[in-house]
A and B are shown apart, each in its own frame.
Chain A
Amino acid sequence: MTDSAILDAFFEECEDLLVALSDGLADMRDGKADNETVNAVFRSVHSIKGAAGAFSLEDLVSFAHIFETVLDEVRANKLAADDALLRVLQRAGDILADLVDAARDGLPADADQVDPVVTELQSFLGAESLVEEEFVFEALTLAFDDTPSSATYQVHFRPSREFYATGNDPALMIAALQELGRCTIHVQCADLPEQFADFHWEDGYLAWQVAVADQPNDLAIREVFQFVDDLCGLQITEDFDDQTVLGDKGFVSVAATETAEQPPAVASEADAETEDLAVAPTKVEKPAKRAASTLRVDPERIDRLINAVGELIINQSVISQRIDEAGLPNSAELHSDLDDYKLLAREIQEGVMAIRAQPVKPLFQRMLRIAREAADATGKDVNLVTEGDATEVDKIVVERLADPLTHMIRNAIDHGIEKPEDRASANKPATGTLRLTASQRSGSIVIEIIDDGAGLNRTRIREIAVSKGLISGEAQLTEQEIDHLLFAPGFSTATQVTNLSGRGVGMDVVKTAITALGGRIAISSITGQGTTFSITLPLTLAVMDGMIINVGGQTMVVPISSILETIRPTTADLSRIGLHSQLIRIRGEYVPIIDLAERLNMRPSSHAMTDRVLLLLQTEAVTQCALAVDDIFDQRQVVVKSMQGSYGEISGISGATILGDGKIALIIDPDAIASAPPSEMKLLIQTQREVTHAPT
């Protein structure tokens, strides 16, 4: 492994540790914590510090150290984990995550952010603890290129009951240590019960003290215990000949991998009954139970696999088409073989897609932080509750959801949830509740952001929309239509530009981001009770339901998600406007027609509309248009191929797919098509219609 590969591994591990940290802190806040939770939180910070020290990441180490010191006090019940402390601990967790990010990007830490938290953390520590703050990190720095210096390490190893219960054998550990270097082994039997009747064979009474000589650092030793470190008490200390500093907390916390079960002080070694134990060197086997349950894979490899599987699916449909053409009798065995092939191909596809799936948990956890910050900034009391953390979505979807969700959480806290005093007068608990939920519903995932705030102020929204010229003063709008105005470009209800949500980006940006993911967003709001935003997203971006159409002799695909209905226009419904444009009247409203062939520069619009099929598109919540195409063939799942890598962006085209006959069909981007000539588009308020699909 190269240095950078080790560093990468460190940062990956940090991610996991930060998740564990955040989980633990959340449990502590919710009062669900036990001793093990506090220990787990401590371990996370400690592990980050330990590894960061090896990489000389000074900022990270010094912050983690003070953080850890506070946690240690909590762990020792010297500090009560009250609300005030928990708040600081959570902020410290945020800062720690920032510092890890900064270290990864090679940037200096943001002192403005870090220092106040450090001060707060220190305020929880007595003067005595502060004195302890003397680091010996330099001595432990991993020197990759230098000749390693050697030291003797003292390993104190005390297996727990679980260690034995999971089929581990201390002899294997000791044998592994012996492979590392010269070992002096002492067994400590002080804990053996005096009465034989008290002896329970499944309890671990023995501990071992092993001195491992000639080790450049303690990493190799830790590796030996990697898979059992939470099943045993383990203490690894560097032996400085005359000045053994065992038991000194300041040192131990730097050098030792501490675990749930604190080993007894090694100082008891002298009066413990010790005897030399000769352990036959045995082959080390990794215990199966603790084996890694996840696999880190380069996303590019998965992309390649997904592509190949997409090909397999296309190839399968090519073969079925060929077989159909061959006109074999229905009884031919080939047909049943082909059915098996189809099933298998589908199964492989689903399996491969599942590899990309990721739980939304890390994303939701980021939102906890966003909510905390937003609540602090607005002086509101808000509790963010997440549900369905385990729901899995395509990794890309998870990544691209971060920005819209951040925006919506901030919005909900800034605009949705009332100030504590207002809440009190409305007979609501002073602390507002924001729920962030994820669930899977038949092929799509639904994410909801539900606040228990005041609900949308529709009068105000209407006024703003009129003042910004989005709607005319006379327009009669239903409540739902008014709510949808929030997504209109340039709309913002913030009367003042606040630091938080009035950054010139509005919900239209959220909407755009969601539609770019092939999803939709809806609002419902009850005055006085709160607002719910529901985002519906496809499970993966690689496959999409499309309507196969014909335009000017070319086959193209329109995403089903944006088609509301298909219409065969009659002359009576059509009317001309301006020089070139036409409108179609649908249930009393006029919707502009976009001729797809003309829009894509394929031919001038000359064909009579009555020969065409119109697809009523739902593009932006408040804009509708009818797309004129020549014919509709079919409706099916297509594998989406991006063209940006090899060609670049094409206006109106979002990608391409390969049809059963091997030909390429371009995929229409309805939003781009609809928004291309903005001057011709009118903002039409529409209620959402039931989707009727065309006959296939």
Chain B
Amino acid sequence: MHQHEDAKAAKQIEFVTLVAGGQSFCIEITQIREIRRWTPVTLLPHSPPYVLGVINLRGAVIPILDLAAKLGFQPIEPTERHVIIIIAIEERIVGLLVESVSEILGISSDMVRDTPRTQEDDSTRAINGIIPTGDDMIKILSLEALLPATLATAA
């Protein structure tokens, strides 16, 4: 038992990998509530371009953001094939529209590298680490950085 825990000193973390704006990202699985197909949204007035609108998630009114647009890429044209990742940060529940969800990635925490310093833009600000994989690397999204206290005032 103890030995087992020692081996786990570097924590095992699971990520869900996704594609937005043609790039690979991942979100820690503990922050994800569920993954749904795209459904039409109710538009919100005066909303920033990356806010698509709101949907009814079993009685709760959930705002849906276009992740690609939020990261500064070309906005996604949502179709039936697109996916919404419902995430929960503290008390807030928000849906992120992404191009696709690929897999669940289980890695040891010591595999996470710090984000190299690059020119700052919307997408690098929202990244708090990278995971090297075989031939590519996956960027870890920091939801806290992505989603300020209220979306409306962030507009």
A residues apposed to B, CB below 8 Å: 307-308, 310-311, 314, 554, 600-602, 641, 643-653, 656, 658, 662-666
Contacts and interface: CB of A to CB of B under 8 A. Distances in A.
A599 to B, nearest CB: 8
B44 A653 contact: yes
A650 B48 CA distance: 11
10 nearest CB pairs, A to B: A648-B150, A648-B152, A600-B45, A311-B59, A664-B42, A647-B63, A656-B61, A641-B61, A658-B56, A647-B151
Given A662-B56, A664-B54, A649 B153 contact: yes
Nearest to A657: B61
Contacts, number: 77
Interface in B28-60: 42-47, 51, 54-56, 58-60
B62 interface: yes
A648 B151 contact: yes
Given A662-B56, A663-B56, A650 B44 contact: yes
B152 A666 contact: no
A338 B61 CA distance: 27
Contacts of B138: none
A664 B59 contact: no
B44 A646 contact: no
Contact of A651 (B46, B51, B151, B154): B46
Contact of B59 (A646, A653, A658): A658
Given A647-B150, A650-B46, 19 more contacts: A307-B59, A307-B60, A314-B59, A600-B46, A644-B150, A646-B63, A646-B92, A646-B93, A647-B44, A647-B63, A649-B150, A649-B153, A650-B47, A656-B61, A658-B59, A664-B55, A664-B56, A665-B42, A666-B42
13 contacts: A601-B46, A641-B60, A644-B150, A646-B93, A647-B152, A648-B150, A648-B151, A649-B153, A650-B44, A650-B45, A656-B42, A664-B61, A665-B42
Given A648-B150, A649-B150, A311 B58 contact: yes
B97 interface: no
Contacts of A663: 42, 56
Nearest to A553: B43
Interface in B123-150: 149-150
A332 B137 CA distance: 61
B96 interface: no
A602 B45 contact: yes
Contacts of A664: 42, 54-56, 61
A526 to B, nearest CB: 45
Nearest to B65: A647
B140 to A, nearest CB: 23
B91 interface: yes
B37 to A, nearest CB: 15
Contacts of B94: 646
B91 A650 contact: no
Contacts of A641: 59-61
A502 to B, nearest CB: 33
A650 B151 CA distance: 10
A546 to B, nearest CB: 15
B146 to A, nearest CB: 14
Contacts of A308: 59
A308 B60 CA distance: 10
Contact of A647 (B54, B58, B91): B54
A646 B152 contact: no
Contacts of A554: 42-43
B153 A648 contact: yes
A601 B59 contact: no
A652 B63 contact: no
A340 to B, nearest CB: 23
Interface string B9-40: 00000000000000000000000000000000
Contact of B54 (A310, A649, A656): A656
A596 B25 CA distance: 40
Nearest to B44: A650
Contacts of B56: 658, 662-664
B59 to A, nearest CB: 4
Given A663-B56, A664-B55, A646 B61 contact: yes
A653 B43 CA distance: 12
A666 B43 CA distance: 9
A345 B150 CA distance: 34
Given A646-B93, A648-B150, A653 B61 contact: no
B54 A645 contact: no
Nearest to B42: A664
A652 B44 CA distance: 11
B92 A650 contact: no
Contacts of A662: 56
Contact of B152 (A307, A649, A665): A649
B60 A646 contact: yes
A665 B56 CA distance: 10
Most A CB contacts (10 A, CB to CB) among B55, B62, B152 go to: B152
Nearest to B53: A664
B153 to A, nearest CB: 5
B91 A645 contact: yes
- Which of A310, A600, A646, A664 is packed against the most chain B CB atoms within 10 Å? A646
A647 to B, nearest CB: 4
Contacts of A602: 43, 45
A627 B70 CA distance: 34
A649 to B, nearest CB: 5
Contacts of B152: 647-650
